[in-house]
Structure 1
Amino acid sequence: MIERHVQASGGMIHARADGEAREDRPWIMLSNSLASDLSMWDGQIPLLTRGYRVLRYDTRGHGRSAVAKGTTGIPDLAADAVAVMDAFGIAACTVMGLSLGGMTALQLALSHPRRIERLVCCDAFAETPAPAQAMWDERIAAVGRGGMDAILAGTLERWLSPAFRAAQPATTEKVAAMIRATPVAGYQACAAAIKTLALLPHLSRIACPAHFVVGERDAGSTPAVMQAMAEKVAGARLAVVPGSGHLPNIDNAAGFEAAVAPFLSLD
């Protein structure tokens, strides 16, 4: 394991690499969701390190990464990811992102196509219509008034199914702690970036092999929304993780790994 703090345009980004350091071992980079940190991927590290060196980082304003000054856009988040790749000497890699991380992965494939070998986009969307923009305004205001606890219950309900929360209270509390630990300013800046998302008309330009994954019960990035996204990318397919909410890699880890393993040549 190697940890580094990488200087990016918005400040220092905390990054971590796992897996056997061999020249013939390809890299996969993981990008986390809003209100989480790189530990959200802990459960997938045993699978991924079977075939990859795994690079994770905390999105700006999350985890141990700095809160950037000024406004943040999705292209800024993609630029941060490129800075992390550069710091580890990675010319190109597979990228897998979930929710905000999935949006970042889409932006990377569009604006830095030579750096992305394959793309896995999970539980994301590619544009934010006006009604959804108003919802983000409400969440931004809520955390401003009451801190991250103001959105904690609703976030857990969207992320994890009732069955999982009942059966796995310790893991649910770990996820809750991750949400609470997110700096309010970091959350607000990235939520404001999501409001500006407008990638849907451009998805047909994605040239690398792409795979889309979504939780069956995700109420925001629904299977129908992600199927429409996948249909815009040549050769892409959608895998649905049974019974899962917005964080299928935690809510149904086995189902999630079954959905991504064949595409990543790990089956």
Structure 2
Amino acid sequence: MSTTASLFTLPSSRVLSYALTRAISDSDAPVVLLSNSLCTPFPTWDAVVNKLTASGLSVLRYDPPGHGGSTVPADLSSTTFDDLAEDVHALLRHLGIDRLHAWIGVSLGAATGIVFAAKYPGTVRKLVACDTISCSPANAGIDDVFGPRVAAVRQAGKMDGIIDGTLDRWLGRAWMDAHPDETSRIRELMLSTTIDGFETCCAALRSDTFDLRLKTEAAGQGVEEALFIVGEKDANLPEAMKELRDGVEKGLKTKNASARVDFHVVPNAGHVCYIDGFDDFVATVTMFL
């Protein structure tokens, strides 16, 4: 499968890289959008794309600022999740896509999806949010973990150290030792993230405006169905994400009193559960879609 990126110039003059892969059997098939976590350009989804297109769905992927071929704003500290959502809205208009069958986002991409669903109600039919924190460290009342990481990358002048530490945290040594080829591929893709891109997306995660707890009810009102997925080994998120699930469910119930938001824990998976929990992730998502 080709993962060659197309480039779209946003109204802000920044460039957004994306790929639209049509369903194998139907060029007019419904479109599912896949939205990446921090430091992961869209080819990390390749295996998932193969499964979705084979099941009759078209797939749209894109890169946030400084990832893949996407460029960054002049002010690296200014980006918010509203900005990231507006980028996708502009891309959909450019492609003539009025409605997404689903938004599947992981981490940064899940937070962007919740903000997008609240900001542009009716554009996303099904929301799948995976492995996301609920708010910035400032809004959680905890120490900022992103600022020191940006400072460390700036001091080192390269992304290698942060990428290796991230892979250890996300996938774990045992999984990486058992899957050396896929680990190597993911690492090389992650290393294409620029330092400016890392700082830009960390700015959104650090922003005082980042608080999904204030968005979930509106997001639920903006979609028809929702599913939350989290890796079993992803720190405290298997428990913490239930608050986000409850907020989206509350919004859905304003339209349908019997609405229920599904919540699924991927066994033995970490933060990027579509990689180390691939089979379970794909089976769960395909059934939901």
Give the TM-score normalised by the residue count of structure 2: 0.86
Residues 90-128 of structure 1 deviation map (CA, whole Å, 9 limit, x = unaligned): 001011111101111011111011211111111112212
Give the distance between the partners of 2:230 and 2:285, measured in 1 at CA.
11
The SS at the match of 1:261 is helix
Using the TM superposition, name which of 14-23 and 94-103 deviates more.
14-23
Identity of aligned residues (%): 34
Q: For the Cα contact (< 8 Å) 1:18–1:55, is it kept in 2?
A: yes
Who is 2:282 aligned against? 257
Who is 1:145 aligned against? 155
Who is 1:168 aligned against? 179
Give the distance between the partners of 1:163 and 1:187, measured in 2 at CA.
27
1:48 aligns to 2:52 (yes or no): yes
1:136 aligns to 2:139 (yes or no): no
Aligned match for 2:214, one of 193, 201, 205: 201
The SS at the match of 2:98 is coil
**Structure 1 unpaired stretches of 5+:** none
Give the distance between the partners of 1:133 and 1:120, measured in 2 at CA.
28
Q: For the Cα contact (< 8 Å) 1:68–1:186, is it kept in 2?
A: no
Q: 1:102 to 1:10 in 2, by over 3 A?
A: farther
Aligned match for 1:115, one of 95, 105, 123: 123
Who is 1:105 aligned against? 113
Give the distance between the partners of 2:44 and 2:90, measured in 1 at CA.
21
Who is 1:158 aligned against? 169
CA RMSD of aligned residues (A): 1.7
Read off the aligned partner of 2:280 and give its amino acid letter: G
Who is 2:9 aligned against? 7
Q: How many residues align?
A: 263
The SS at the match of 2:153 is helix
Q: For the Cα contact (< 8 Å) 1:148–1:184, is it kept in 2?
A: yes
Give the distance between the partners of 1:132 and 1:22, measured in 2 at CA.
48
Give the distance between the partners of 2:8 and 2:22, measured in 1 at CA.
19
Who is 2:229 aligned against? 213
Give the distance between the partners of 1:10 and 1:190, measured in 2 at CA.
18
Structure 1 residues 223-238: aligned runs within 5 Å: 223-234=238-249, 235-238=260-263
Who is 1:16 aligned against? 19
Aligned match for 2:273, one of 240, 245, 248: 248
